[in-house]
Amino acid sequence: MSALNLPQLIEELEQNFPDLPLKYNVSWSDMTWLGVGGEIAIVAEPSDDITLSEILQFCHRKKVAVFVIGGGTNIVGMDKVFDGIVIKLAQNDFIRIKARTHHLTVGAGVRLSDLVVGAARRGFGGIAPLGPIPGTVGGALRMNAGAHGVVIGDYVVDICGYDMTGDAIAINGKEIAWDYRSTDIPDEIIITGVILKLPLAYKNSELEKINEEKKQRRASDPSGRSAGCVFKNVSSTDQAGRLIDEAGLKRFSCGSAWVSKKHANFIINRKHASEKDVIDLMCKMRSTVAERTGFYLRPEVIFADPAALADIQADSHIPKVAVLKGGDSSEREVSLKSGAAIANALRNAGYIVDEIDIQTCKLTDSILNADVVFLALHGSWGENGDIQKLLEDADKKFVGCGSTASRLVLDKISSKKLMDKENIPTPKWCVISESDSNLADFMDFPLLIKAPREGSTVGIFVVNSQDEYDKVLPEAFKYDSELLLEQFIKGRELTVAIVNDEAMSAVEIVTPTGFYDYDAKYIHNNGETKYLCPPDSVSIETQKQAAEMAMKFYHAANCRDLLRVDFMIDGDGKAYMIEANNIPGFTTNSLVPKAFKQSKGSMEMLCTNLVQAALKH
């Protein structure tokens, strides 16, 4: 309904809801902590959920815009008149806490600080770090508010509310995806209350914890009118405030909105800042950080006008990344996990991500429309150069080695030949075929039989005698008609990751069985594998030698962007290169993210650096 129909709207509201408290021409300054924006035509404060439902039904029929507000702590108002209805949940059950034996029922309008203190006084605890966070419970649930490792989503049993048509909604807490500063609760759901199950606690000790948390918060947060943190952190180590500070933007201003000199992720309304001032300043903060780091900061504040968020996102060209995962090889399940981890990291870094489960070697429109393709395909055509060749022919930028290098690296036999050519120490090896499977004279047991074009230790067998060798061969030849035999070296396992032409810290792998097989990597039926980064029992000199060998192979094979090189360290401390992986895993237990974390930083930084490098190809 346009502004021209406001008198009619007001008349109908007063007729249909004679007991509903209504306010007219209310300033956003009176409704929000930041205090920017013009006027709100109508503010309604329903006394209960039945009235709320009836208002929503009315607005849905009349096609009247609705914006729901709680404490207004993280909201940026709008300069033009909001000529719909702002609904404020600030009465009766919306602001009450009801204690039961094992849980609390809490209204969405309850201030988070009041919840934490009220819970403590009723003998519940566990959420003291949430106490200093401004805002109401409804907003905290929507954003999955958290601090110091505690997030509200961990304690949710059920959420109740309404959709925009006025129909009641109930959501079980286990059905909600609780992510960092976000959930998958649809935007059109209005939260009215929540049931929380909190651990029991001693009142006095819990109140002491709450007071200490508030004291620490007062010391770190700036004074003045603000909406709290403006942008979400990229990761626990890539904090928005630090990134903005390092970009030199403290005290930077647009109009009367300025970046706090105390905490760079706060925008302070110095006098009479406008919505435009805030948008312009956020665009400057975001674009400067993006130019410096490749991170596109995601707003944490809520805009009354959705167009404002669109303006900020449109201010910088955000690369669209197609993450290819899955494939049809024996490593499909690992690839799906790697792709999901990469996609999540890039979304945290602000990129537009298209997560694609690709099962045939061909380029779709989604892939061709991306700015960068990030390959998380292990084995088969995903790693052997086939998909890379298609991307090269289509002139698409992609993360990782080109087709020729990919083909060489995946093939363990070709890799061995290159190691020998470059005088890189590697265990004795030979090739057998189905027509000639006799051991070479220089080979002896124990040894490894390897399918030459598989990864993730698929198609690898350890044999200790001629009998074992003869028994295993039929199974091994199911993977390939040609097999690599490699002398088994008993010792420590080491891996070196190379990211954008730089060797990362080495990772020592300690397995329960002494062999880094598929179970040790992913399943752990035989016990957990330990990853030591930096290594615990491999000398600095040996680590340096391994890094030099890895770099030598990387350059000799004409690799780029990313490579993982595996070594065995014998009892004398000598390093032997085993093989390389041009599309290494990116799962929780994967080695490249672990090495990068030790050397450089977060998974988000790793994926961002690789995308930025690919954009420059």
Whether residue 571 lies inside any domain: the answer is no
CB 274 within 8 A of CB 255: yes
Radius of gyration of the chain measured on its C-alpha atoms:
30
Is 604 one of the catalytic residues? no
For 114-145, give one letter per residue: b (16+ CB within 10 A) or e.
bbbbbbbebebbbbbbbbbbbbbbbbbbbbbb
Indicate if 204 and 164 belong to the same structural domain: yes
CA 562 to CA 573: how far, in whole Å? Answer: 26
With respect to residue 120, please indicate whether it lies within any of the assigned structural domains. Answer: yes
| Domain's final residue, options 299, 315, 331 | 315
19 and 113 in a single domain? The answer is no
Among the listed residues 39, 213, 275, 579, the single catalytic one is 579
Give CA–CA dist 84/90, Å, rounded. Answer: 19
Contacts of 61 (CB under 8 A, 6+ apart): none
The residue from 564, 582, 590, 604 that is catalytic is: 564
Is 475 tagged catalytic? no
Q: How many domains does the chain have?
A: 3
CB contact at 8 A, 158 and 171: yes
Q: 575-581 and 150-151: which strand pairing?
A: unpaired
Closest listed residue to residue 72, CA positions, set 136, 154, 144: 136
Where residue 431 falls (left for φ over 0; alpha for ψ -120 to 50; beta otherwise) is beta
- The two tokens of residue 415 are 């890799």
**pLDDT > 80? residue 521:** no
**Nearest one of 379, 363, 345, 374 to 605, comparing CA atoms:** 345
Asked about 300 being catalytic, the answer comes back as no
Active site residue 242: no
Q: Same structural domain for residues 195 and 105?
A: yes
Domain assignment present for 500:
no
Whether 25 is catalytic is: no
Active site residue 202: no
Is pLDDT of 522 > 70?
Answer: no
Catalytic residue status for 212: no
Please identify which residue in the block is written with the tokens 């009801």. 98
Q: Give the model confidence (pLDDT) of 350-372 as tens digits.
A: 999 999 999 999 999 999 999 99
Pick the catalytic residue: 241, 566, 590, 604? Answer: 566
**CATH number, domain containing residue 126:** 3.30.465.10
128/78 same-domain check: no
Catalytic residue among 269, 456, 582, 609: 456
Mean pLDDT, the chain, rounded, equals 92
Chain-centre distance for alpha carbon 228: 22
Final residue belonging to a domain, choices 254, 280, 315:
315
Both 106 and 161 in a single domain?
yes
Of 264, 295, 315, the residue that ends a domain is: 315
Domain contains 409: no
Range of the domain at 248: 237-315
Query: What's the half-sphere exposure (Cβ side, CA atoms, 13 Å) at 464?
Result: 1
CATH of the domain at 18: 3.30.43.10
Model pLDDT for residues 552-574, shown as the tens digit of each residue: 999 999 999 999 999 999 999 99
For residue 311, the domain's CATH number is 3.90.78.10
| Residue 290 CB partners (closer than 8 Å, separation 6+) | 296, 297, 316, 350
- pLDDT of 95 above 50: yes
Same domain, 204 and 115: yes
The verdict on 9 and 28 lying in the same domain is yes
330 in any annotated domain: no
pLDDT recorded at residue 512 = 73
Q: Which amino acid is at 87?
A: I
Q: Terminal CA-to-CA distance of the chain, rounded, Å? A: 51
Q: Which of 93, 213, 305, 331 does the annotation list as catalytic?
A: 331
Choice between 219 and 362, residue whose per-residue pLDDT is larger: 362
Q: Where are the beta strands (DSSP E) in 413-554?
A: 429-433, 447-450, 460-463, 482-487, 492-499, 502-503, 507-510, 530-532
Q: How far apart are the C-alpha atoms of 331 and 328, rounded to whole Å?
A: 8
In a shared domain, residues 83 and 114:
no
- Establish whether 566 is a catalytic residue: yes
Q: Per-residue pLDDT tens for 523-550? A: 667 777 888 999 999 999 999 999 999 9
Which one is catalytic: 142, 144, 585, 604?
A: 585
pLDDT in tens, 580-592: 999 999 987 899 9
Residue 331's pLDDT is 86
Specify if 482 maps to a domain.
Answer: no
